[in-house]
C-alpha cells in the first residue's frame, strides 16, 4: 500500500479540498519494476498484465504515466479502472473496478495472503480514477 499514495498524486491535504479536486494524476517519477512491484501496486500490475493491459515488465524503469491515464470522476468508470476511495475513517484505499452499481463502482480489493474482497463503493467515497492503457485485452477500453 505504500506506493498507492505515490501513484495517486493529490494536490491538497484536507479532506474538503480532496473531494473538490476529483482527479488523480499518474506520476512521472521513474520507478524500477522491482521497486513498484510491491504491495497494492504489485497486485495491480499482476492483475492488469493478466487481463492483457500494458503493464511494466521485469527489469524495466518506467513512469506510471506510461501505463495509466487520469479519469475525471464525472466520467463513468470502466472495468479495470483503478479507483482511490476513502473509508468511513477517511483512510485512502485502492481497488480495481469490476462493474458500476446503482450508487457507485463495484470493486475488488486485495486483503492479503492472495485474498480479495468484492465490495460496492458509494460515489461520495471516490477520490478519483486512473485508467490503464490498452494492450491486447478484449476488456480494455480504447485510449
Q: Residues 18, 12: contact at Cβ < 8 Å?
A: yes
What grid cell was written down for 12? 491538497
**Whole-prediction pTM:** 0.75
3-state secondary structure of 9: strand
Summarize pLDDT for 109-128 with one digit per residue, the tens: 999 888 999 999 999 999 99
- Show the CA angle centred on residue 22, arms to residues 4 and 38, nearest 5°: 10
Quote the distance between the C-alpha of residue 90 and its chain's center. 17
Summarize pLDDT for 56-106 with one digit per residue, the tens: 999 999 988 889 988 877 788 899 999 999 999 999 999 999 999 999 999
Which single residue is written with the C-alpha cell 480495481? 96
DSSP 25: B
Element (H, E) at 68: strand 68-71
User: What structural domains does the chain harbor?
Assistant: 4-132 (3.90.1720)
Q: What is the pLDDT of residue 136?
A: 61
Q: Residues 125, 85: contact at Cβ < 8 Å?
A: yes
Amino acid at each position: 500500500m505504500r506506493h498507492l499514495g505515490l501513484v495517486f498524486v493529490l494536490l491538497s491535504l484536507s479532506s474538503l479540498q480532496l473531494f473538490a479536486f476529483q482527479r488523480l494524476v499518474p506520476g512521472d517519477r521513474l520507478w524500477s519494476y522491482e521497486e513498484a512491484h510491491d504491495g497494492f501496486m504489485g497486485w495491480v500490475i499482476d492483475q492488469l498484465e493478466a487481463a492483457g493491459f500494458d503493464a511494466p515488465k521485469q527489469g524495466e524503469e518506467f513512469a506510471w504515466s506510461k501505463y495509466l491515464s487520469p479519469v475525471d470522476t464525472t466520467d463513468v468508470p470502466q472495468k479495470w479502472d483503478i479507483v482511490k476511495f476513502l473509508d468511513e475513517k477517511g483512510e485512502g484505499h485502492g481497488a480495481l473496478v469490476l462493474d458500476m452499481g446503482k450508487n457507485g463502482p463495484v470493486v475488488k480489493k486485495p486483503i492479503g495472503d492472495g485474498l480479495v474482497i468484492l465490495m460496492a463503493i458509494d460515489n461520495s467515497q471516490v477520490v478519483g480514477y486512473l485508467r490503464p492503457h490498452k494492450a491486447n485485452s478484449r476488456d480494455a477500453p480504447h485510449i
